[in-house]
Amino acid sequence: MNRRWPGTVAFLGCLLFMTAHRCEAQNLVPNPGFEESDSCTFGLGLGELHHWYSAYGTPDHLQSCLSYGTANGLPLNIFTYQQPFEGNSCAGIFTYDDDTGTEYREWLMVPLLDTLVIGQVYYCSFRANAAFGGDTANQMTWLASDHLGMLFTTYDRTWTWGDPKPAALDQAHILYPQILSDTVGWTLVSGSFTADSAYTYLMIGNFFSNALVDTLHLALPGVDVYGYTLIDAVCVSPSPEGCQLSHGVVELAGAGPYVYPNPASTVLVVGNAAGRDAMVLDILGQRVWSGMVDRDRFAVYVGNWARGAYVLQVRGTRGVQAVKFVLAE
């Protein structure tokens, strides 16, 4: 039942029998595809899933071993109709609550197989799918939302029902800044970061407050309106060959302007805006910076700006396009 064993045991086989290259490429996430479980468990929640547990709310273990159309079965369940990205299972989490107007979220958590090394670059990825539809009697997933991401911690944040609801953290180490609205395919969320602490745990979810999150109605709203996202194939590796990565931020950003990292701390990079006039407004609508973006991947120093939410406005042939971002410590 939710066995938690962070540590270096899994590395012993690597150290004894594998080459150094293979060691570096190892996925540090146990049970990355949510396949390992003590049984085929009917019902919402994580059941007897190994290693993974809740850091907030009640994430779900979805399994294809269950009867068609059961609450947590695959492909048809209470939330969606979808095949797992790989294997026979995946996880599902609420990423936005537009029904009650509260800051309710669901966060998945897992102990890493080894502690991250400060100063080391880590490459991360997972697959995500926007749930929509589900069985006709219980359709409730009508929204897609942005700010899905991965957040690393140095301490356990186990949450059980009845515990206080945690406040929004408004940060993530790996972030998908756009609205994740593909209900058919599995979107690759990926990126890299330099560890600034000896992180031992990974969380996946939407860690941002409602004020910073954009949503999209996938259809006319029903009685219950939530955003629900499926998660599969989670990977963290010290080697760029260890996880499947996108071909850079341009793939995520599409044709419009984008910024990274998001959240940022000292430098914000603006992309897909070369030759355009840009302006940054704070949460009160006051201008804090403006100028001409004279090259692709244009860097703006933001180290002395107040921490919080901002909007980048870029004026071009398509009119004014806006991108939200956050500054964090």
| Mean model confidence pLDDT for the chain | 84
Claim: this prediction has a pTM higher than 0.75: no
For residue 147, the model assigns a pLDDT of: 92
pLDDT in tens, 297-326: 788 999 999 998 888 988 876 567 778 888
Average pLDDT on 192-209 reads 94
pLDDT in tens, 208-220: 998 889 888 776 5
Length of the chain: 329
Q: Mean pLDDT across the stretch 101-118?
A: 94
- Cα-only R_g, the chain: 20
| Ranges 128-137, 194-203, 266-275: which has the least confidence | 128-137
- Alpha-carbon torsion (229, 231, 237, 242), positive or negative: negative
Place 204 in a pLDDT band, splitting at 50, 70 and 90.
Answer: very high
Instruction: Mean pLDDT check: name the lowest of 57-61, 90-94, 270-274.
Output: 270-274
* Residue 61 three-state SS: strand
What would the pLDDT profile of 19-33 be if each residue is shown by its tens digit?
444 444 689 999 999
- Percent of the chain at pLDDT > 90 equals 49
pLDDT band at 259 (very low <50, low <70, confident <90, very high): confident
Residue 312 · residue 259 · CB < 8 Å? yes
pLDDT at position 274 over 50: yes
What's the whole-number mean pLDDT along residues 64-74?
91
DSSP code, position 138: G
Q: Which residue has the tokens 């396949």?
A: 35
Nearest to 235 by CA among 53, 70, 54, 28: 28
Asked if residue 289 has pLDDT above 90, the reply is yes
Residue 7: predicted pLDDT: 40
* 211-244 burial: b if 16+ Cβ within 10 Å, else e: ebbebeebeeeeeebbbbbbbbbbbbbbbeebbe
Q: Is 145's pLDDT higher than 70? A: yes
pLDDT-based confidence at residue 254 (cuts at 50, 70, 90): very low
Identify which has the larger pLDDT, 156 or 215: 156
Task: Look at 225 and 52; give whichever has higher pLDDT.
Answer: 52
Q: Which residue has the higher pLDDT, 270 or 154?
A: 154
pLDDT at 17 over 60: no
Mean pLDDT, rounded, for 47-53: 96
Domains of the chain, each with CATH number or no CATH: 9-237 (2.60.120.260), 249-327 (2.60.40.3080)
The values of phi and psi at residue 265, to 5°, are -130, -50
pLDDT range class, residue 137, cuts 50, 70, 90? low
200, pLDDT greater than 50? yes
